Every structure is written in C-alpha cells, then in structure tokens.
Amino acid sequence: MAKVTREMVERAGVDVDQLLELLVKNAAAELTTYYYYTILRANLIGMEGETLKEIAEVARIEDRNHFEALIPRIYELGGKLPDDMKVFHDMSACPPARLPENVTAENILKVLVEAERCAVRGYTQICNMTFGKDHRTYDLALAILNEEIEHESWFSEFLGEGPSGHFMRRGETSPFVSKFLK
C-alpha cells in the first residue's frame, strides 16, 4: 500500500474504504464480463451473429484490460482482491451477462448493451466520488468510462437505438486505458 497516497485521498474527503469497495466490485464486473462475453461471442452465429462477433470481441478484450488496469490502484489504496473466485464473482457491480434463454443475435445484443450500461453507471459513480480529490483514480475511472460509453454506443446502434458516431478500433485498447497497463 502507498501510505501517503491513501492519506492524501482521505484528506481530500474521499471515503477510501467505500472507494475500494466500488473499485473491487467494478474489477469483479470487468473480469466476469470478460468470461461471459466469451460465451456470448461464441454464440453469435449465422449472418447476423458474424456481423457482431468482432465488435463483441473488442469489448471483451477491453473489459479484461479494464480489470488489469484497476488492480494496481486497488492495492495502492490498501485494498485487495478476495482470495475466492466465487466470492469475487458474486460481488460484481453488475449482474452476470449470461447467455439468454432464447439465443438470437438480437437477444445477445440486449445482454451486451445492458452490461455496458451497468458499467457506465459504475464508473460514473467512481468519477463523481473522486473528481478533484483523487486524481489518479479519477483519471483511471474516466478512461474506462470513455471506453464503456463507446461499447454501449456500438451495441445500442446495432439495436437500432440511433447512430453511435463511433468507429471500432479493431481490438486495440484505446490510448486512454493503455497508459494504465504498464
């Protein structure tokens, strides 16, 4: 743990224990989403499914990268991950992005967009809590939030909710999050 780092964040008015709880729950959401997106992507079949497979894969890999980017900050602030994967899964900030009973490309898209919307809410909460108080956590959460908004936009566009205005990056993590993966 970086003692002075935690002290500065606490002095700025952030409840570090509450922040750590949110960071760990969002890390759990990222790792479980990576797992569930693997299953969803594998079930995107047929002409409609093949159209979506690559974009689901980009979101899946980026969610894994989000998990990796969150871990150092959790430990810097004195937190840790649970030593039991089942406990970690069950504490996720978002419900599991499980394969729908009626497996169609549209139903999978609905699962994907709802998972991204949950992530947007989670990182917005962290940004609101840390803005002007914990610059490192804020920058990290904002970088991840930018990608989660992009993912939501991609999937909602396929559902016909309107144009996203975004272009897919072909599986490369955005420069926003890349700087935290060192």
Q: Check residue 25 and give its pLDDT.
A: 98
CA distances 58 to 46, 84, 147, 154, 170, Å, are 19, 28, 11, 11, 7
CA distances 119 to 1, 9, 15, 44, 125, Å, are 26, 23, 21, 22, 10
Q: Check residue 51 and give its pLDDT.
A: 85
Within the chain, which residues score under 50 in pLDDT? none
Q: Check residue 1 and give its pLDDT.
A: 72
Residues 6 or more apart whose Cβ sits within 8 Å of residue 3 = none
Residues 6 or more apart whose Cβ sits within 8 Å of residue 83 = none
Cβ atoms within 10 Å, residue 134: 25
Q: Check residue 116 and give its pLDDT.
A: 98
